[in-house]
């Protein structure tokens, strides 16, 4: 489809947003005209009582329909002009926010909307359409009211469970408010500015267990107030020495190898109190224009990233997330909310590579993806593979493998019914597929060579 044709279709679609009549009215009007012509043809017997009675009843029905429709239109006009008058005179308080509702299902975001003053048409409806990210529009939706105590109110407040495809920050520029009657025949629309933003949150999933501890090479200029337990060496045994406690001798090893070894105790370290968590969004491949990589792959990576952070934070140490890109300012109050926001708004980038991003002196955990540069990862792992926990996220796992049967169904029987099916087909046809899968396979082999590396899977 050409660019000009797309613009024309988009223009007509936006004009349709402001049509004063709904599809229901057009169906009703068409059916009414057809019924009128059909019933009129039945009253064809001249000079009969039947014709007079039928004509009278027919006239009553027409007038009753006209009165009801006029009443419905009048209720919409009153609410419409009241809102327009308030908008010009005092302004409208329009707010969009995200309730602190914890984990919501991925690709769904509950938003809260507040509008004052506004008057709902008698027995009618108020619906909205949101203009976000400059050129995108939501579907027309109806709010679920939070309170139904007041019969008459000039305040509209409710929530909407919005189906959103990406884990990111959404910026709302405008909103279209629709006033509709109880039949939903008439729909008068007004546009209002709505400068607001919210972000969809990654969902916490079960993942592989991460084995890590704070790096001993961390700067020890500042002591912590509370001593925390830290493992000694990765291999928690050493040869017995004269000053060692005999109670720590591992007799099972002695019985097997005739070697006296002792278990290294946990250390109460006053400095090693933080786990530095690095998550690289660097792409060594040109991925511009690939919707599959930009949406489902990125969503999957962010979900793993947040899940790993939550797992690390339960180990008793403070986790410091180091972003590889500039993060916009957020109003989030708590440290955990700020990290969730930083993960949510991060995108694939090609400016800061892994070697320029990671500080080996501090890093305890490094998360990489199928888009990471294999040579740079290999160089880092050869130097620090036994000190830093490298976690690899195979992005292609975000889409189930497509079988021959799926292709046959798609080609002969049915079109895709959901976004995942569309992504599967697009990925199967993508020119990047082979290159990324080969890089992914090489990185998985590299992970097996080091003790403190792992391939991360979601929902184990």
The per-residue DSSP string of 369-432 comes to ETTS-HHHHHHHHHHHTTTSEEEEE-GGGGSPPPPHHHHHIIIII----SHHHHHHHHHHH-TT
Structure tokens at 96: 């969009």
> What is the pLDDT at residue 303?
93
Instruction: Report yes or no: 325 and 349 within 8 Å, Cβ to Cβ.
Output: yes
Cα separation, 346 vs 340, whole angstroms: 10
Strands 389-393 and 363-369, bridge-based pairing: parallel
Highest average pLDDT, of 93-97, 239-243, 431-435, comes from 431-435
Element (H, E) at 261: strand 261-263
Bond preceding residue 117 cis, omega within 30 of 0: yes
With tokens 């629709």, the residue in question is 178
pLDDT for 206 equals 81
pTM flag (> 0.75): no
The pLDDT value recorded for residue 49 is 58
Instruction: Taking the CA atoms of 432, 433, 437 and 440 in sequence, report the sign of the dihedral they define.
Output: positive
Neighbouring CB atoms inside 10 A of 442's CB total 15
Phi, psi of 381 (to 5 degrees): -70, -35
Whether 86 and 190 have beta carbons less than 8 Å apart is answered as no
pLDDT band (50, 70, 90) for residue 400 = low
pLDDT band at 439; cut points 50, 70, 90: very high
The domain limits of the chain are 10-201, 232-265, 274-455
pLDDT bucket at 329, cuts 50 / 70 / 90: confident
> For residues 20 and 317, which has the higher predicted lDDT (pLDDT)?
20
Query: How many distinct helices (H) and strands (E) make up the chain?
Result: 12, 18
> What pLDDT is stored for residue 318 in this prediction?
82
Are 190 and 176 spatial neighbours (Cβ–Cβ below 8 Å)? yes
Phi, psi dihedral angles at 83 (to 5 degrees):
-65, -40
The CA distance from 449 to 445, in Å, is: 7
38-62 mean pLDDT: 69
Q: Give yes or no for residue 363 having a pLDDT over 70.
A: yes
- For residue 426, give the nearest of 302, 287, 303, 305 by alpha carbon: 287
Per-residue pLDDT reduced to its tens digit, 159-185: 898 888 889 988 888 999 999 999 999
The yes-or-no verdict on residue 114 having pLDDT over 70 is: yes
DSSP E strands, 37-102: 93-97
In degrees, to the nearest 5, what angle opens at C-alpha 293 toward C-alphas 350 and 385? 60
pLDDT score for 410 = 42
Q: What is the mean pLDDT of the chain?
A: 80
pLDDT of residue 51: 65
Task: Find the angle CA(379)-CA(354)-CA(389) to the nearest 5 degrees.
Answer: 70
The torsion angles phi and psi of 378, rounded to 5 degrees, stand at -60, -40
pLDDT for 73 equals 93
C-alpha triplet 450, 454, 458: angle, nearest 5°? 175
Say yes or no to pLDDT of 145 above 90: no
pLDDT attached to residue 205: 86
Q: pLDDT at residue 231 above 50?
A: no
The separation between CA 16 and the C-alpha centre of its own chain, rounded to angstroms, equals 28
- Percentage of residues of the chain with pLDDT beyond 70: 80
Burial class of residue 440 (count of CB atoms within 10 Å of its CB; 0-12, 13-18, 19+): buried
Lowest mean pLDDT among 26-40, 280-294, 299-313: 26-40
Q: How far apart are CA 444 and CA 448, in angstroms?
A: 7
* pLDDT over threshold 70, residue 152: yes
For the stretch 341-356, pLDDT in tens is 999 999 999 999 999 9
Measure the CA–CA gap between 197 and 351, rounded to whole angstroms: 26
Q: What is the pLDDT of residue 321?
A: 93
Q: For residues 263 and 244, give the distance between their C-alpha atoms in angstroms, rounded to a whole number.
A: 10
At 55, the pLDDT band (50, 70, 90 cuts) reads: confident
Q: Which of 64-68, 398-402, 414-418 has the lowest mean pLDDT?
A: 414-418
What number is the average pLDDT over the span 432-438?
93
Name which residue leads in pLDDT, 257 or 327: 327
How many angstroms separate the CA atoms of 373 and 285, rounded?
Answer: 8
- Between the alpha carbon of residue 338 and those of residues 14, 165, 323, 328, 448, the distances in Å are 36, 22, 11, 10, 33
**pLDDT for the residue numbered 342:** 93
The residue among 231 and 41 whose pLDDT is bigger is 41
Q: How far apart are CA 13 and CA 3, in angstroms?
A: 15
């Amino acid at each position: 489809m050409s660019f000009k044709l797309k613009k024309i279709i988009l223009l007509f679609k936006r004009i349709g947003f402001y049509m004063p009549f709904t599809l229901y009215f057009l169906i009703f009007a068409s059916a009414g005209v057809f019924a009128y012509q059909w019933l009129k043809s039945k009253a064809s017997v001249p000079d009969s009582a039947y014709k007079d009675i039928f004509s009278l009843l027919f006239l009553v029905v027409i007038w009753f329909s006209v009165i009801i429709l006029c009443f419905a239109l009048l209720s919409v006009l009153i609410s419409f002009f009241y809102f327009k008058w308030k908008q010009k005179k005092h302004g409208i308080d329009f707010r969009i926010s995200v309730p602190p509702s914890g984990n919501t299902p991925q690709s769904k975001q509950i938003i809260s909307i507040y509008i004052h003053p506004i008057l709902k048409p008698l027995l009618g409806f108020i619906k909205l359409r949101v203009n976000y990210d400059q050129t995108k529009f939501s579907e027309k939706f109806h709010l679920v009211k939070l309170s139904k105590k007041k019969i008459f109110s000039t305040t509209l407040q409710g929530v909407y469970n919005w189906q959103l495809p990406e884990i990111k920050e959404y910026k709302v520029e405008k909103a279209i408010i629709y006033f509709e009657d109880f039949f939903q025949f008439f729909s008068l629309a007004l546009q209002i500015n709505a400068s607001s933003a919210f972000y969809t949150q990654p969902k916490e999933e079960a993942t592989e267990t991460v084995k890590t501890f704070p790096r001993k090479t961390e700067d020890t200029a500042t002591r912590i107030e509370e001593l925390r337990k830290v493992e000694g060496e990765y291999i928690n045994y050493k040869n017995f020495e004269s000053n060692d406690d005999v109670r720590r001798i591992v007799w099972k090893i002695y019985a097997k190898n005739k070697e006296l070894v002792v278990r290294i105790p946990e250390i109460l370290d006053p400095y090693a109190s933080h786990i530095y968590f690095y998550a690289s969004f660097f792409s060594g491949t040109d991925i511009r224009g690939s919707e599959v990589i930009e949406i489902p792959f990125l969503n999957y990576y962010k979900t793993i990233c947040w899940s790993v952070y939550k797992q690390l934070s339960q180990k008793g140490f403070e986790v410091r997330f180091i972003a590889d890109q500039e993060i916009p300012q957020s109003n989030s109050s708590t440290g955990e909310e700020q990290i969730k926001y930083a993960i949510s708004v991060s995108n694939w980038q090609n400016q800061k590579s892994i070697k320029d991003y990671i500080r080996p002196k501090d890093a305890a955990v490094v998360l990489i993806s199928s888009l990471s540069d294999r040579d740079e990862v290999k160089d880092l792992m050869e130097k620090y593979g036994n000190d830093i926990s490298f976690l690899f996220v195979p992005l292609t796992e975000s889409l189930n493998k497509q079988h021959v049967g799926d292709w046959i169904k798609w080609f002969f029987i049915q079109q895709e019914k959901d976004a995942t099916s569309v992504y599967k087909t697009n990925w199967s046809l993508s020119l990047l597929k082979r290159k990324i899968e080969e890089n992914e396979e090489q990185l998985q082999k590299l992970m097996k060579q080091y003790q403190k590396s792992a391939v991360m899977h979601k929902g184990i």
